[in-house]
Structure 1
Amino acid sequence: MNPNTHLHGGHVLKPVLSTLQLWGIAVGLVISGEYFGWSYGWASAGTLGFTITSIFIAAMYGTFIFSFTELTTSIPHAGGPFAYSKRAFGETGGYLAGAATLIEFVFAPPAIALAIGAYLNVQFPSLDPKTAALGAYIVFMTLNIIGVQIAATFELVVTLFAIFELLVFMGVVSPGFSMANFTKGGWSGQDSFSLASIPGMFAAIPFAIWFFLAIEGVAMAAEEAKDPKRSIPIAYITGILTLVVLAIGVMVFAGGAGDWTKLANINDPLPQAMKLIVGEHSGWLHMLVWLGLFGLIASFHGIILGYSRQIFALSREAYLPSYFAKVHPRFKTPHRAILAGGAIGIAAIYSDELIKIGGQTLTANIVTMSVFGAILMYIISMLSLFQLRRKEPNMARPFRAPFYPFFPAFALLGACVCMATMIYYNLLIFGIFVAFLALGYGYFLLTGHHRDNAVSAAAEWVGS
C-alpha cells in the first residue's frame, strides 16, 4: 500500500521509478567516492593500511545494506531512516535519525561540487573552482526541480558513463602498473607493518566510508518507486556489489601508477595518477577529465535528490517548517526543499575560514562532517531494526535481513567503532556536529504542537 494514497494537496510524490533507475540512483549517489575523497586516507594510513581499513568498511556497508533493505521495503517512505526510527522509538528517535541524515546529505554535495570545480580547473586553469561549484548547484538543482523521472533517467545515463570511465582509467594505467609502487611505504609511510601503523588506519576511516557514503539514499526515493518491495532490494544489492568492485580496482590501479604520496591530499587523484603514466598532454588525460566529471555529476545530482526528499519528509511532518513540504504544482517535485539544501551547500563552499579547521583541507572537513551524520544514522537505523523486530514481529517484511541477528549486529558494531574513532581524531568537527543537532533539537522541542496536526506518512503505514 503506497502511503501517498493518504496524502493530499501539495504533498504528493509520484511513483514513477523503475528498478534500473533505482540502481542508477544507488550507484550514482556514491560513485563520486571512487573519483576523489578516498585518497585522503592514504595520507594517514598509507596504501596497505588504507586497504585494510577499506575492507573493514566494505564489510560494514555490505551487512548494513542487507539489513537496511528490510526497513526500506517494510516502510517505503521519503524520509527513509527518519520514518524507521520514528516508528521504532517515537518522535525523538525520528528527530535524531532525520537530523543525522540531513547533515549527511546536505554536507556531501558541497564537497562533490568543489571536486567538480577542481576537475574543471585542470581543463580551464583560469576557472575558479568555487565558481564552477556554484554553477553546478544552479544547473542540477534546476534539473531536479523539473521532474524526478527526467532526473532519474539523467542519473542512470551519467552513472553508466562514470562506470565506463573508471574502467577506461584502469585500462590506461595498467601498462605502467607496479605492485611495488602500491606497496612502497604502504604502512603509514613505512614498508612493513608495525603497531605504529594502527592509529593511521583508524584515522583513515572517514575516507574509506566516502567510498560508499550515501548509497542508503535510495530509501528516500521509495515513495517514487513503482514497485519498492521488489525493486529496492535488487537496486541495493547489485549497487553495493558494483561499488565494491570499482573501489578496489580504482584504489589499486591508482596506487600502482607511480608515487602514490603525490595523490594523497588532492581532489583529483585519478587525472593525476593517469598523468604519471601518459604525461600531461595525452588525449587520454583530457578524456578522463571530461568523462570523469560524469562520476562527480552522478553523485552530486543524486544526493540533491536525496537531501530534498529528506527535507520534504521532515517538513511534511513538522520537524522542519511546513513551507519546505510544498510540491511544485506542475513538476510534482519538492522544489523548495531542493533550493533550501542548495543554499546551505553554497554557503559551506564559501565558508573557508569556518570550515577549514584542524589543519585539514576544506573538502576533507566537509567530508568528515557528512560522515558523522551518516554514521549516527547507521547506528540508529540498526537499533530501529532490532526494536521493530521485537516491537512489531508481525509487521509485513517483504525482504528480511539475512543471517539475522548477525548481519545487523556486525553493521551496528562497525558503525560504533567508526563513530568512536572519528570522535577521537576529529573532536572539533564532532563538536560542531553536536551543536547542529542541539540547535535542531531546540527547534524540535519548540514545535511539538505543529506535529500534533501534521500529516504523518509513517503513522499511516502503522494503520495500513
Structure 2
Amino acid sequence: MSEQNHLQTSLTPTLLWGLGVGYVISGMYFGWNVGLEKGGTLGMAVATALVVIMYVCFTMGYAELACAIPKAGGVSDYATRALGKDLGFIAGIAQVCEFVLAPPAIAVGIGAHVNLFFPSIPAIYVAIGVYILFTMLNIIGVKLAATFEFFVTFLAVVGLVLFAGITMGEISFENLSRNSLPNGWAGVWGAIPFAIWFFLGIEGLANAAEESQNPQKDLTRGFGSAMLTLVILCIMTFIGSVGVGGWEAVVFKTDGTVSDSPLPLALGKLVGESATLYSLVIVFGLFGLTASFHGLLMAAGRATFEMGRIGNLPSWLGGVNPSFKTPANALIANMTFGILILLSNTAADIIVLSVLGALTLYCFGTVSVLRLRQVEPDLKRPFLVPLYPWVPLCALGLAVLALVAVVVSNGMLAVYYSGTLAIAFVLYKVFVRR
C-alpha cells in the first residue's frame, strides 16, 4: 500500500468505544418506535430479544475477523479473502448501501428534533446543513472527528440515563401490556427492521481498524464494551418509553401521524412540553443523533474508500487527502449521494433499505468467519470467537431469518435493493473485471 493511500493511525481504545456506541446510539432516540406500530409492545420486545442475540453472536465473530484482517474495507476484505472477488464485491456493495443510506435517515431525525425547538426552520434544511458540516469535519482529520464523536456520544449516553431516571418510577405493567400484540405474532416480523435499528452500525467499528493504534487488541475491547453499553441502554429506553403511557403514546403525534421523536413524546406525558427536563432530553437527543450521523459518515467514507482503493469502484474514490490523510473523495461522494436520497425518500423507507444492506453484511461476515477457519486455519487470530462454531452459526441463522422477515414485510423495497446489487454486479463484471 502506497503512502498516498495510507490512512492516519491515531485511534485509542476509548475513542473506539466512542465510535462503537456513537454509530448506533441514535437508534435509541428515534426510528425504533415505528416497530411498535407493527408489533406492539410484545411483538417489538420479542423482535428486539432476537436481534440482541444476533448482534452479540455476530459481533464476536466480526471481532475475530477485524483483529485478524485489520483493513478499512471491513466485510469487503473479509469476504474477498474467504469467498473470492465476486462475492467480496457484493458484500462490499451491501456494506456501502448500509452505511450510505443510514445517515440520510438519521439526518431526518436531526431535522425533526430541531424543528421541535424552531418550527419555522424546515427539517430538510437542517438535514442538508448537518450533512455538509460533518462531512467537512471528517475530512479535516480522523482524530479530531473521533474525539468529537466520543464527546457527543458521552453526552448522548448521559441523556438516555437521565431519561431512564425520570421515567422508571412512572412505568406501569398496565401500560406495557395494553394492546401488546395488535397484529398478532405476524407483527414480530414487521417489527424486526426497527429492532435492528437499535443496534445497526456497530459493525462500522471494523472499518476503523487501519486507524487504530493496536487493532489486534483494541478492536475486541471496542466491540465488547460498546455492545454491552448498547444492550443496557436499549432495555432502559424501551421500558421507560412504553411504560409511561403505552406504545401508542410514543408512536403517534396528537394529529395521528407517526413521530420521529419517541422520547420527547413519552416525557411530554409526564412533565409537559414546557418543562426544562423535556427540552433537556431533546437536546441530548440531538447529541445522540449527531453522534450516529457523524460516526456513520466516518464508516461510510472508509467503506467507499476501500472499494475505490482496490478497484471495485472508480479509483478516484480511493484517494487520500495529502494534508489530512483522510478519504476526502469518498466522503464528498457519499455526502452528495446521501443528500439526493434525503430529498427523495421517507425516513422509514431509508431505514428498511439500510437494514437490508446490514443483514446482507451480517450473512457475508458470518460465513467468512466459518470459511476462513476452514481454508486458513493458521491465520493469526488475536481473538477467537467463543463456542465455535455454534456462536457464528447462531448469528447466521438469525441474520437469515431477519433478512427473510424484512423482505417479506417490505417486498417492493427489497426489489429495489436487489436490483441495486444486481446492476452493480453487472457493471462490475463488464468494466472492472475486464
Per the alignment, in what secondary structure is the counterpart of residue 298 of structure 1?
Answer: helix
- Say which of 104, 112, 116 aligns to 2:106: 112
Aligned twin of 2:296: 303
Superposition map of 1:349-364 within 5 A: 349-351=342-344, 355=345, 362-364=346-348
Superposition map of 1:393-412 within 5 A: 393-412=377-396
Q: Are positions 1:143 and 2:137 aligned together?
A: yes
Aligned twin of 1:266: 259
TM-score computed with the length of structure 2 as normaliser: 0.97
Are 1:33 and 1:210, in contact at CA under 8 Å, matched by a contact in 2? yes
Are 1:74 and 1:397, in contact at CA under 8 Å, matched by a contact in 2? yes
Amino acid at match of 1:125: P
Q: Which residues of structure 1 form unaligned runs of 5+?
A: 1-6, 189-195, 356-361, 451-464
1:9 positional shift: 4.2
1:278-310 per-residue CA deviation (whole Å, 9 max, x = no partner) reads 001001111111121110000000000000000
Identity, % of aligned pairs? 39
Amino acid at match of 2:94: A
Q: Over the residues paired in the alignment, what is the CA RMSD in angstroms?
A: 1.0
Residue range with higher mean Cα deviation, 434-443 or 231-240:
434-443
How many residue pairs match? The answer is 428
Aligned twin of 2:15: 21
1:178 positional shift: 1.9
Amino acid at match of 2:325: K
Alpha-carbon distance in 1 for matches of 2:280, 2:61: 39
Aligned twin of 1:242: 229
- Say which of 330, 353, 363 aligns to 1:379: 363
Alpha-carbon distance in 1 for matches of 2:359, 2:158: 30
1:449 positional shift: 5.0
Superposition map of 1:201-280 within 5 A: 201-264=188-251, 265-280=258-273
- Say which of 330, 338, 353 aligns to 1:337: 330
1:198 positional shift: 1.1
Are 1:318 and 1:447, in contact at CA under 8 Å, matched by a contact in 2? no
Aligned twin of 1:369: 353
1:81 positional shift: 0.3
Aligned twin of 2:254: none
1:180-232 per-residue CA deviation (whole Å, 9 max, x = no partner) reads 112111112xxxxxxx6211011110000000001000010000000001000
Amino acid at match of 2:410: N
Q: Which runs of 4+ in 1 moved over 6 A?
A: none
Alpha-carbon distance in 2 for matches of 1:9, 1:225: 17
Aligned twin of 1:155: 149
Per the alignment, in what secondary structure is the counterpart of residue 184 of structure 2?
Answer: helix
- Say which of 385, 407, 417 aligns to 1:433: 417
Amino acid at match of 1:274: L
Alpha-carbon distance in 2 for matches of 1:446, 1:412: 31
- Say which of 165, 172, 197 aligns to 2:184: 197
Aligned twin of 1:323: 316
Amino acid at match of 1:132: V
Aligned twin of 1:456: none
TM-score computed with the length of structure 1 as normaliser: 0.91
Aligned twin of 1:421: 405
1:21-72 per-residue CA deviation (whole Å, 9 max, x = no partner) reads 0010000000000001110110011012211110111001001111111111
Are 1:319 and 1:447, in contact at CA under 8 Å, matched by a contact in 2? no
Alpha-carbon distance in 2 for matches of 1:126, 1:17: 40
Amino acid at match of 1:317: I
